[in-house]
Amino acid sequence: MGKSGILYLALVPLVAPETGVITEVAAIIGKDPYGARLLLAGKVPKIVARYESKQMAESVTQRLKHLGFVPILCTESELCRSSEGFIAYTLEVGQRYVLFYDRGGQKREMKSRGVFLIIKGKEETYVTKEKTETTRKFSLARTALTGGIPMWRTEKKQVKGSSTVTKYFARLYTRKSSEPAVEIIHNQADYSFLKGEMASSSLANFNIVVTKLQQAFPKAIFDDNLTRASVRQPYAPSDVDDTKVNCKLLYLQYLAVKM
């Protein structure tokens, strides 16, 4: 079966599922109760199973619906699909619309009622860097040559170190696509349009902008669960990052419950 035919099943977590319900879910998806409980914890849908049979996936989906869950079925190609996103560099808030401009000056207009969902989140990546460390070591041979005067030698070596880079983002979605229509990245934007409201840090300015977007799109659902913790998706395709999967599943969740 090709990528487009593989189906991934995710579940929208219940607030406080009973032990009996957890046991039933575990039996349906072929997990132990403890593993099932972990998959149902949190506020972001998690992938709980993968199927190559559409008939099997739909049968499991119906059984989970009877337990009160909101199942999400999506193909691997949908999870992995990516389009060239529109990264906003600056914006202009008008009455019932917002104009977004990228670094090249291209413009995208979003009407007040056109935005379905705003996801605010953070993404952490680990960057490995090499640096040169210089150390001084006592040289017994040189000391002997100088008649006992302590001598030292300098050694240089390349060492690797890693650091965490945190990126905050806001992604705006319409009902038409699970790919964001616009994305704002906190350290890749020009906030001068804020004028007197402009703060001293890019993150503070980013938060101001997100508040303005909530006001500009009052009908949009706002979700900031991805700012609180990193959500791993152990059963997602290996070639797609967790942040992308999490955002797509949140979109599909709200699309399902708002139909």
Q: Give the closest residue to 212 by CA, choosing from 99, 108, 116, 107.
A: 99
At residue 1 the predicted structure's pLDDT band, cuts being 50, 70 and 90, is: very low
Lowest mean pLDDT among 10-14, 35-39, 150-154, 201-205: 150-154
For residue 9, pLDDT over 70 is answered with yes
192 burial via Cβ count (<10 Å: 0-12, 13-18, 19+): exposed
d(CA 120, CA 109): 20
Count CA atoms closer than 13 A to 157's CA, side-chain side.
6
Q: What does the pLDDT look like over 164-217, one tens digit per residue?
A: 889 999 999 999 999 999 999 999 999 999 999 999 999 999 999 999 999 999
Q: Give the closest residue to 235 by CA, choosing from 22, 72, 126.
A: 72
CATH number for the segment(s) 90-126+164-257: 2.30.29
* Residue limits of CATH 3.30.1390.10 in the chain: 3-80
For residues 101 and 90, is the Cβ–Cβ distance under 8 A?
yes
Q: What does the pLDDT look like over 119-137, one tens digit per residue?
A: 999 998 877 767 778 888 8
* Residue limits of CATH 2.30.29 in the chain: 90-126+164-257
- In degrees and rounded to multiples of 5, residue 198 shows phi and psi of -65, 130
DSSP 185: E
Question: Percentage of residues in the chain with pLDDT exceeding 90?
Answer: 68
Identify the CATH assignment for 3-80 out of 3.40.50.300, 3.40.630.10, 1.10.10.10, 3.30.1390.10.
Answer: 3.30.1390.10
Query: What is the residue type of 93?
Result: V
Pairing of β 221-226 and β 117-138: parallel
Lowest mean pLDDT among 114-123, 149-158, 208-217, 248-257: 149-158
d(CA 54, CA 37): 25
pLDDT of residue 130: 74
Angle at which helices 54-66 and 19-29 cross, to 10°: 170
Q: Give the closest residue to 13 by CA, choosing from 239, 234, 225.
A: 225
Q: What does the pLDDT look like over 68-79, one tens digit per residue?
A: 899 999 998 888
Q: Give the closest residue to 210 by CA, choosing from 61, 93, 107.
A: 93
pLDDT of residue 259: 64
- In degrees and rounded to multiples of 5, residue 110 shows phi and psi of -120, 120
**Which contiguous run of DSSP H or E holds residue 181?**
none
At residue 5 the predicted structure's pLDDT band, cuts being 50, 70 and 90, is: confident
| Mean pLDDT computed over 214-230 | 94
